[in-house]
RNA sequence: GGCGCAUUCGUCUAGUGGCCCAGGACAUCGCCCUCUCAAGGCGAAGAUCGCGGGUUCGAAUCCCGCAUGCGCUACCA
């Protein structure tokens, strides 16, 4: 896996990383992490750390990498410059390169003309056959020159792990640059050198690299090296069917963590985005993925990222968690929202009631708010009994208040029995009585089951909220009376 | 423009010549359960398998053409 640290890890890269990881683990190979930071301006140590964190969070551990060591380091491309240059010289010694004095401006102009004339924008070959003496003289004179690879026209083919037999005509390329005029090698060459030196056997990367691969294969051959196996993954697209971009999509793995997605859910989801086991299973742990993943079963077509499906996976994983564990995970989200948690036990009991109602950990603050806050503000519209009056609702709540006062809140069966009896005596449906109580104590018309909620909230809090609600109703009745008399 | 890859329900996908007038999952809708919301159970709707030609007794599956989408086309990675 060779990510560029130009941002926190991208969900599309994460999927590529996952497939690499699964492949490496299932054949008991080595999962190598190499940081491709040759783009100095865009790469930062912070981003590199973010990439490492993201991978780690998802549960992918690498055997070799910047902070893991290994026999083939360094694992940061920027630290391998000397080696790359060495190999550039080997390539030159073998007669595969030549100096090109064309300026960027000239090249850009050629491209423009070519485009205008509907020709492929391929290098003219202007400097290909320059006289050796002339080259030396111009170099001597301080003229800048890039190093180009001599391309011999022919069909280049390879057997892709995912896509099958692939072929491209090298005659279409023109000689491409392998060394910049400042002497630094180009990414596509550095990759060849590194993959070889690091004894990489399988390269799985995004389909946007296919055209690079053809060129790499030619370079391997020029260096007398055997290329590794290549596999090109379909891309993940956004709802607009474009390659996911950092600009307009939620794409950083970091963001998923912040929104309260579980790593296991994210892994399960991205694993199934472009791969399936061939039967109808869809819930997989990492170990199960390692066992059942087959690269040949990776889909060839691009996939659109479906957030609803991710949510579903996340919900099912949340429901599978032990309550204590879920509470532990929820805690930082709740605290970040500025809510205070009285004690662990209380939190756990509240979390247990919301567990099957939540999709993301970030939903917890909102869902648990009424458990953690002193007062609640019921909406009058729902506090009053459906098709009923404020007076009769107030009267009913008052009776409930007494019941809670007398019997407490811990015996749910008794509470339910009492309230149902009360509803019947009133000639109300049970729900018609339960709803005002629910709204009074939770401030919302949607909540966990009423009696569980009351028990977790505790007698004192239930009583004070009932009292507040009764006051609200009384005030409302008063206002209405004034309104009538005026 | 050139080159490459792809094309099955809205989405992820199963499918490799007859088991497919196409199966599963998410989302949607309905019913059940039920004190609300969920969760769960059951069910419905949803794909003339991009289009057009072939090959074949028979094609989503094989062949050809076209269309569309995406990617690449840098002294970026």
Per residue in A242-290, pLDDT tens?
Answer: 777 666 666 789 999 999 999 999 999 999 999 999 888 999 999 999 9
pLDDT digits (tens, 9 = 90+) for A119-176: 778 888 888 888 889 989 999 998 889 999 999 988 899 999 999 888 888 988 889 9
The first and second tokens of residue A177, run together, are 């640059």
Nucleotide nearest to A243 (CA to C1'): B70
Nucleotide nearest to A188 (CA to C1'): B77
Picking from A399, A478, A484, the residue whose alpha carbon sits closest to that of residue A437 is A399
The first and second tokens of residue A249, run together, are 């999509």
Assess contact for A70 and A32: CB atoms under 8 A: yes
- Is the pLDDT at A391 greater than 50? The verdict is yes
Mean residue pLDDT of chain A comes to 91
Q: Residue with CA nearest B69 C1'?
A: A241
Q: How confident is the model at residue A14, as a pLDDT?
A: 92
The residue ranking higher by pLDDT, A46 or A406, is A406
Q: How confident is the model at residue A311, as a pLDDT?
A: 96
pLDDT digits (tens, 9 = 90+) for A8-24: 788 888 999 999 999 99
Helix (H) or strand (E) holding A95: none
Nucleotide nearest to A5 (CA to C1'): B77
Q: Residue with CA nearest B2 C1'?
A: A120
Nucleotide nearest to A298 (CA to C1'): B13
Query: What's the mean pLDDT in A449-453?
Result: 97
Nucleotide nearest to A232 (CA to C1'): B5
Q: Residue with CA nearest B75 C1'?
A: A180
CA A312 to C1' B30, whole Å: 21
Q: How confident is the model at residue A23, as a pLDDT?
A: 93
The first and second tokens of residue A446, run together, are 């949607």
CA A382 to C1' B37, whole Å: 14
Q: How far apart are CA A354 and CA A329, in angstroms?
A: 13
The first and second tokens of residue A99, run together, are 């100096």
- Backbone torsions φ then ψ of A4, nearest 5 degrees: -95, 130
Confidence of residue A486 (pLDDT cuts 50, 70, 90): very low
Q: How confident is the model at residue A248, as a pLDDT?
A: 60
Confidence of residue A118 (pLDDT cuts 50, 70, 90): confident
Q: Residue with CA nearest B72 C1'?
A: A211
N-term to C-term CA, chain A: 77
Q: Residue with CA nearest B15 C1'?
A: A278
Residues of A acting as catalytic residues = 246
Distances, alpha carbon A155 to alpha carbons A152, A160, A177, A218, A400, in Å: 10, 15, 20, 10, 85
Spacing of C-alpha A86 from chain mean position: 38
The residue ranking higher by pLDDT, A138 or A115, is A138
pLDDT digits (tens, 9 = 90+) for A78-90: 899 999 999 999 9
- Is the pLDDT at A110 greater than 90? The verdict is no
| Cβ neighbours for A370, distance < 8 A, ≥ 6 positions apart | A376, A441, A442, A443, A444, A447
pLDDT digits (tens, 9 = 90+) for A408-425: 999 999 999 999 999 999
- Is the pLDDT at A240 greater than 60? The verdict is yes
Nucleotide nearest to A101 (CA to C1'): B75
Picking from A216, A296, A261, the residue whose alpha carbon sits closest to that of residue A19 is A296
CA A18 to C1' B7, whole Å: 26
Count, in order, helices (H) and strands (E) of chain A: 20, 9
CA A231 to C1' B20, whole Å: 31
Q: How confident is the model at residue A117, as a pLDDT?
A: 75
CA A253 to C1' B17, whole Å: 44
| Protein-proximal nucleotides of chain B (any atom < 7 Å from a CB) | 1-8, 10-15, 23-27, 35-40, 69-77
pLDDT digits (tens, 9 = 90+) for A319-350: 999 999 999 999 999 999 999 999 999 999 99
Rank A171-180, A204-213, A352-361 by mean pLDDT and report only the highest.
A352-361
The residue ranking higher by pLDDT, A379 or A220, is A220
Q: How confident is the model at residue A244, as a pLDDT?
A: 74
| CB atoms closer than 10 angstroms to residue A85 | 16
Confidence of residue A485 (pLDDT cuts 50, 70, 90): very low
- Backbone torsions φ then ψ of A67, nearest 5 degrees: -110, 15
Can you give the pTM of this predicted structure? Answer: 0.91
CA A446 to C1' B30, whole Å: 22
- Is the pLDDT at A484 greater than 60? The verdict is no
Q: How confident is the model at residue A17, as a pLDDT?
A: 94
Q: Is the dihedral of CA A69, A75, A79, A84 positive or negative?
A: positive
Q: Residue with CA nearest B38 C1'?
A: A357
CA A116 to C1' B2, whole Å: 13
Per the listing, tokens 């098709």 go with A387
What percent of chain A has pLDDT above 90? 67
Q: How far apart are CA A281 and CA A266, in angstroms?
A: 16
């Amino acid at each position: 896996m060779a990510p560029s640290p130009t941002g926190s890890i991208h969900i599309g890269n994460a999927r590529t990383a996952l497939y690499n990881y699964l492949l490496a683990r299932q054949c008991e190979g080595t999962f190598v992490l190499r940081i491709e930071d040759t783009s100095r301006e865009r790469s930062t140590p912070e981003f590199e750390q973010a990439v490492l964190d993201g991978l780690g969070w998802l549960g992918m551990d690498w055997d070799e990498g910047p902070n893991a060591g290994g026999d083939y380091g360094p694992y940061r491309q920027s630290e391998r410059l000397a080696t790359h240059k060495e190999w550039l010289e080997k390539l030159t010694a073998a007669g595969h390169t030549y100096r090109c004095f064309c300026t960027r401006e000239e090249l850009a102009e050629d491209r423009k003309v070519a485009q205008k004339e509907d020709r492929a924008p391929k290098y003219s070959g202007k400097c290909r056959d320059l006289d050796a003496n002339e080259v030396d003289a111009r170099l001597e004179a301080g003229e800048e020159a890039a190093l180009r690879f001599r391309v011999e026209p022919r069909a280049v083919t390879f057997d892709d792990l995912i896509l099958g037999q692939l072929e491209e005509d090298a005659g279409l390329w023109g000689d491409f640059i392998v060394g910049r005029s400042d002497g630094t090698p180009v990414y596509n060459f550095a990759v060849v050198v590194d993959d070889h030196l690091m004894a990489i056997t399988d390269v799985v990367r995004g389909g946007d690299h296919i055209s690079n691969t053809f060129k790499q294969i030619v370079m391997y051959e020029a260096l007398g090296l055997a290329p590794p196996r290549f596999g090109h993954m379909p891309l993940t697209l956004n709802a607009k069917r474009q390659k996911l971009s950092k600009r307009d999509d939620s794409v950083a793995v970091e963001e998923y963590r912040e929104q309260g997605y579980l790593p296991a859910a994210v892994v399960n989801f991205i694993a199934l985005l472009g791969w399936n086991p061939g039967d109808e299973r869809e819930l997989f742990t990492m170990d199960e993925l390692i066992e059942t993943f087959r690269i040949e079963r990776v889909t060839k077509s691009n996939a659109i990222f479906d957030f609803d499906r991710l949510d579903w996976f996340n919900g099912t994983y949340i429901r599978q968690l032990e309550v204590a564990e879920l509470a532990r995970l929820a805690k930082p989200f709740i605290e970040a929202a500025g809510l205070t948690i009285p004690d662990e036990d209380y939190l756990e009991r509240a979390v247990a009631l919301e567990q099957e109602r939540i999709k993301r950990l970030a939903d917890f603050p909102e869902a648990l708010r009424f458990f953690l806050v002193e007062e609640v503000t019921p909406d009058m519209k729902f506090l009053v009994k459906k098709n009923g009056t404020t007076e009769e609702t107030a009267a009913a709540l008052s009776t409930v208040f007494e019941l809670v006062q007398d019997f407490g809140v811990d015996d749910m069966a008794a509470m339910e029995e009492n309230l149902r009896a009360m509803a019947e005596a009133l000639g109300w449906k049970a729900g018609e009585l339960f709803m005002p109580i629910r709204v009074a104590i939770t401030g919302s018309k949607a909540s966990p089951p009423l009696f569980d909620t009351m028990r977790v909230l505790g007698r004192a809090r239930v009583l004070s909220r009932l009292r507040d609600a009764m006051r609200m109703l009384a005030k409302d009745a008063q206002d209405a009376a004034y309104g009538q008399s005026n």
